[in-house]
Amino acid sequence: MRSSAIFCIFLFTMSLTHAADQAFARTDPGVIEVKTLPAGRLLVCEGEGDYFNQSNSLFRPLFRYIQSHDISMTTPVEARIEPGTMIFWVAADQIEKADESNDEVQVIDVEERTVAAIGKRGGYSQSNFEEARAELLQWIEEREDLEIAGEPYAVYWNGPFVPGPFKKFEVQVEVRR
C-alpha cells in the first residue's frame, strides 16, 4: 500500500512538471510513423501473466531500484504485455549508477532500433492498447517496405493522475526495412 502511494505521488509530480528527461521523442496522437529509438540502458522488471493485471507489482521493484541507486526518472515507461514487463529508460548522465542487476530488476543495454509507432490519447487500458495495436499492424501490413521484427508493446507518457482523455501513449513494434 505504501509503495502504491509513493508511486502515485511520484507519477503525479512527474505529470505536473517537466523534470523527467525524455528518452526519445513522442509520437503525437493521431500520427503513425517509423522512427529510430536511441541506444540506451534499460531497467526491466518482468512478472508472470498479463501486464494489465500486474502493472503496480512491476513498478515497485523498479522504483526501489532507482531510489536506492539515486537514479532520475525518465519518460516514457514501456510495457511489454505478455509476459507483463515494465521498462524504465536510464538517462544518459545516469548510466553509471545503473551498473548491476538484482533479483528483481535486470539492467540491460539496447542498440539503436527502428520501430513503427502510433500515437494515441486515452487511458492506459487493455482495450485502448489492442485498438491501437490493430491499427498499427494494419498500417504496416499495407506497406511493402516494412517487416515486423518483434511483438507490439505499449509506451506510456503520463502518470496516473492525468485524466484518461489527456493521457498520451503509443504502441510500437520493431520493424525492418
Amino acid 56: pLDDT: 77
C-alpha cell at 32: 503513425
Q: Of 65, 76, 60, 67, whose CA–CA distance to 27 is shortest?
A: 76
pLDDT beyond 60 at 1: no
Main-chain phi, psi angles of 76, to 5 degrees: -90, 180
pLDDT beyond 70 at 18: no
**DSSP label at residue 83:** T
Residues, the chain: 177
Spelled out in words, what is the top-level CATH class assigned to the domain 2-176? alpha beta
- Cβ–Cβ under 8 Å, residues 140 and 112: no
Where does the pLDDT of residue 133 fall: very low under 50, low under 70, confident under 90, or very high at 90 and above? Answer: very high
Sign of CA dihedral 142, 143, 144, 149: negative
Q: How far apart are CA 26 and CA 167, in angstroms?
A: 12
Mean predicted confidence (pLDDT) in 134-159: 97
Taking only the tens place, the pLDDT of each residue in 64-121 is: 999 999 999 889 999 999 999 999 999 999 999 999 999 999 999 999 999 999 999 9
**DSSP label at residue 95:** G
- Cβ–Cβ under 8 Å, residues 98 and 43: yes
Q: How far apart are CA 74 and CA 10, in angstroms?
A: 12
**DSSP label at residue 26:** P
Q: How far apart are CA 39 and CA 59, in angstroms?
A: 23
Q: How far is CA 151 from the centre of its chain?
A: 14
SS3 call for 140: helix
